[in-house]
Chain A
Amino acid sequence: MTNQNSNQTQRRLANHLCLNILKAMKYHAIIAYSFVSKKALSLFQSLRLPISSILIEMKEDPVIRLDFGTKCIVLEFKMGKNNEHVTCLNDFPVNLDFQSLRNAFPKLRKISVHGSRNEISEHEILNAQNVLRAFLPYLKEVQLFHVPLGENLTCQHIGMANLELLNFFYPKNFNFDCLFTLNVQMCMIETDHMPLRDLNRFFKLWIKGSNPRLEVLSISCDTETVPDSSVLLKGLKVKELEKVEEEESEIEYEDEDEEEQSDAVSERSESEWESEESESEKSESESEAESGEELDDEEIEGGEEKKFFIMNCHDMTNWKFPFRRLPYDLCLEVLKTMDPVEIICYSFVSKKTLSLVKILHLPISSIHIMMQDQTEIRFYFGDNFIDFKFIMDSDYEEMGSLDDLPVNVKVFNDTLIYLPYYVPPNLELTMTNQGMSLREWIRQLCSIPDKDIPYTAEIYLTAMTLDTRTLRNDFPKLEEVLIGFREDEEDESDNVNVRNVLREFLSNVQNVKLCDINFEKSRFIQHIGISSLKDLYFYDPINMNFDYLFTLNAESCTIETDQIPLRDLNRFFKLWMKGSNPKLKKLMISCDTEITPDWNVLLKGLRAEEAEAARSKKFFIINCRGIRAEIEVKHLGTSASVTFNVSKSYL
């Protein structure tokens, strides 16, 4: 039997097989296996378990928690309760050993030290001191809860470390002078009183350039009396934040108000000139600050909330750069590193800057002008777009014109993704109107891209009065225009205006789209049909007379209407076979209907040949010139359509 056992111990699985078995085991079993022997531990280490973080809580009964993504394993250490001494790492009642601490906790990133809330003992101070001395050079985040500060453990010692976050929660013996030596990026202090005079001194020194690394300082305390903000702000030359911005930030404060009901003073400094900060990085208490420093003075329960800016000597707005003194090619190099939205903003600085931007040949794929209730100009850059939204004076009840001055211009910059309608695009900045009318804005913006970049316009005649004398200059490179008409009655003057506008556009554009046009009231409609257009599109025409089709001179015509005029189309095809509409290449008429149209009416007397098709019916007809055309009829669900495609080849 013993021989058998010894034989079995001598026979071992190959390492890779051991690993395979371990991989099939659960995490807690693998960890248990690692305690079997040194070899087992090394095998365990080679497994590289996907541990995302480790939390070690050194308390009466210590806990080690290993996180595996969504799962975790907690090791609870039940310590002997017989002796009354403090638990230590050697499982003996001695103090924390400074020498072995680093070895015990390698790669520590964040540490939270908890002190007792009531009495301060020498032993406690010594322990906190040892822990911090051991780890401070390697840590990024330190949280101190009720930690007693003393001669050998001051805030200066801790604050001077190269930390990212330092959090004091009700520190004992805290001296606010230590704020001046803070070297951390973010410092949060929860205390029992607000040291207004010390903070005032701190801000004054910050203005002179102290604490350059500090990005956020937040001090909060519970108090029912409103702190005297004049003490805090004395001699600071602060700039109060605009009310609008305050309103926006109120939302962010609501949650905090409910939880803490505390007064808070926070400070945010602009980071180094090369770094850009995102809003998401800001904590709740310092939601608003683009540059410079901000002070919040907030009172809860119907109290006041004030925000102020201060600027320090390193502030970038005070720093100038003689850009135009750079050689021409270097100016272009700088501009090439900028985002398109910044380059376009730069083009508004002066005539020379505009000409410099034109040389850059921005990769604009197309431009779309939309003149509805609000005017928008959108630049497309591949998958991205920049929107210029012109905010007009809403009190002005008359119809807008291109001579109106916008109140301001909101510039949005975003990616073309399918977002819900209520998700607005990213607002980049709000520009002043630059003293330019809508017409001048359109002209300037449309002059930025290369000459051959086409642009389209959507003009709703209900919203905008257009001056026909200047239209060609206002929209010089227009490729496509969509004109929206009134659905209700039009008076004669409107009709004349529309006719003039269309006449101007028809000589320039290739594609015309007409929305809600009334055929009975718009006598000029024949002019559109006989114009030499590439594409003509009708959305929901009113009282459409399909005889209109016989005079069509456009290459392609699409009509979205409420019925398919089968008899009219039959007549149209018969005339086409006799030689009419020689320029027409495509005609499509579609409508919403649940009843399948009687296609026999459409095809009556055409002698059409039927061709095979999967989900539609296709027929071929030939005209007197031997040109072949395909008629495709379709009824799917609630949509019916007739598509007439003229073949390029002769028979």
Chain B
Amino acid sequence: MSSTEQGTSSAAPAEPTTAPESAAAPEVPESFYYVHGKDKVVHKVSAGALQHSALIHGMISNLGYTEEQAKANPFPFENIDGDILQMVVDWCNQHKGKPTPPEDTNLPKQKEKLFDLVLAVNYLEIKELLTYCCKQVAMMVKGKSPEEIREIWMIPTDAEDEAAEKEAKKRAGKEAAGETAAAAGDAK
């Protein structure tokens, strides 16, 4: 639980983002949950914001957490970088309880993080954000020729693909041979 303790102390900066929303609807007490990424920094997110993630929503409805339990056991997403998780949480907070517009201008601007963001969003099953991210990836090659698409999307040529396949086959053959030799050694 050390991670949680560390998390609660570092969760403070995340709170201001959620505070105004909770203040906006004081009559209905909103429940909050906690998530952390690879960096163990805990983010406090309202249940409304987490509705966007089918994965987390499913986990909440299956586990039946109270707020205290949720605080003590944040959802761990060890495969997601902290800054990426922060982006996702921010997006979920911004779009809490709102219909998602067809074009989203609130997407994270760090282009170099788009790849990790797509993977994280896909893992967390946030359908709308995934669609936006996919559109962003698609926009990169809008109006580009096949050569430019190859360069921008780093797609190997047919020759490179064939060479990689041969290499993979070789490696697989070697591994298989190694396994059979080991099995034969064990049998002896």
Query: How many residues on the B side are at the interface (Cβ–Cβ under 8 A)?
Result: 38
B81–chain A nearest beta-carbon distance, Å? 16
Contact of A429 among B112, B131, B145 (CB under 8 A): B145
Question: Please, which residues of chain A bring their CB within 8 A of the CB of B135?
Answer: 337
Contact B131 A337 (CB under 8 A): yes
Question: Please, which residues of chain B bring their CB within 8 A of the CB of A273?
Answer: 109, 111, 136, 139-140
* Contact stretch, chosen from A144-152, A168-176, A313-321, A596-604: A313-321
Contact A323 B154 (CB under 8 A): yes
- Would you list which residues of chain B between 11 and 42 have a CB under 8 Å from chain A? none
How far is B187's CA from A316's CA once the two chains are assembled, in angstroms? 58
How far is B154's CA from A333's CA once the two chains are assembled, in angstroms? 18
- What per-residue 1/0 map shows which CB atoms of B117-145 lie under 8 Å from chain A? 01100100000001100111111111111
Question: Please, which residues of chain A bring their CB within 8 A of the CB of B153?
Answer: 320-324, 349
Contact A349 B149 (CB under 8 A): yes
Contact of B145 among A316, A345, A352 (CB under 8 A): A345
- Would you list which residues of chain A between 417 and 457 have a CB under 8 Å from chain B? 428-432, 434
Contact A320 B145 (CB under 8 A): no
Contact of B155 among A339, A350, A431 (CB under 8 A): A350
B48–chain A nearest beta-carbon distance, Å? 26
Question: Please, which residues of chain A bring their CB within 8 A of the CB of B144?
Answer: 342, 345, 429
Question: Please, which residues of chain B bring their CB within 8 A of the CB of A352?
Answer: 158, 161
Query: Does residue B178 face the partner (Cβ distance < 8 Å to A)?
Result: no
The chain B residue sitting closest to A350, CB to CB, is B158
Query: Does residue A351 face the partner (Cβ distance < 8 Å to B)?
Result: yes
- Would you list which residues of chain A between 325 and 354 have a CB under 8 Å from chain B? 325-327, 330, 333-339, 342, 345-346, 348-353
A324 touching B155 in the complex, CB below 8 Å, given contacts A319-B112, A349-B149: yes
B57–chain A nearest beta-carbon distance, Å? 20
Contact B145 A432 (CB under 8 A): yes
Contact B122 A348 (CB under 8 A): no
B80–chain A nearest beta-carbon distance, Å? 15
Query: Does residue A520 face the partner (Cβ distance < 8 Å to B)?
Result: no
Contact A428 B143 (CB under 8 A): yes
Query: Does residue B150 face the partner (Cβ distance < 8 Å to A)?
Result: yes
B103–chain A nearest beta-carbon distance, Å? 8
B101–chain A nearest beta-carbon distance, Å? 13
How far is B102's CA from A630's CA once the two chains are assembled, in angstroms? 57
Query: Does residue A246 face the partner (Cβ distance < 8 Å to B)?
Result: no
The chain B residue sitting closest to A276, CB to CB, is B142
Contact B142 A274 (CB under 8 A): no
Contact A334 B142 (CB under 8 A): no
Query: Does residue A61 face the partner (Cβ distance < 8 Å to B)?
Result: no
A348 touching B146 in the complex, CB below 8 Å, given contacts A321-B114, A322-B115, A323-B155: yes
Contact A333 B130 (CB under 8 A): yes
Contact B139 A274 (CB under 8 A): yes
Contact of A345 among B114, B118, B149 (CB under 8 A): B149
Question: Please, which residues of chain B bring their CB within 8 A of the CB of A320?
Answer: 151-154
How far is B111's CA from A429's CA once the two chains are assembled, in angstroms? 25
Question: Please, which residues of chain A bring their CB within 8 A of the CB of B158?
Answer: 350-352
A277–chain B nearest beta-carbon distance, Å? 11
Question: Please, which residues of chain B bring their CB within 8 A of the CB of A324?
Answer: 153-156
B100–chain A nearest beta-carbon distance, Å? 15
Query: Does residue A272 face the partner (Cβ distance < 8 Å to B)?
Result: yes
Query: Does residue B147 face the partner (Cβ distance < 8 Å to A)?
Result: yes
Question: Please, which residues of chain B bring their CB within 8 A of the CB of A335?
Answer: 138
B188–chain A nearest beta-carbon distance, Å? 42
A187–chain B nearest beta-carbon distance, Å? 23
Contact B138 A350 (CB under 8 A): no
Known contacts A274-B105, A334-B134; 15 additional CB pairs below 8 A are A273-B109, A273-B111, A317-B148, A322-B115, A324-B156, A330-B122, A333-B131, A335-B138, A337-B131, A337-B138, A342-B138, A342-B141, A345-B144, A346-B149, A350-B158
**A-B contacts, 22 listed (Cβ < 8 Å):** A273-B140, A274-B107, A317-B151, A320-B151, A320-B152, A320-B154, A322-B154, A324-B153, A326-B119, A327-B119, A330-B118, A330-B119, A333-B134, A334-B137, A334-B138, A342-B142, A345-B144, A345-B146, A349-B146, A349-B149, A349-B153, A349-B155
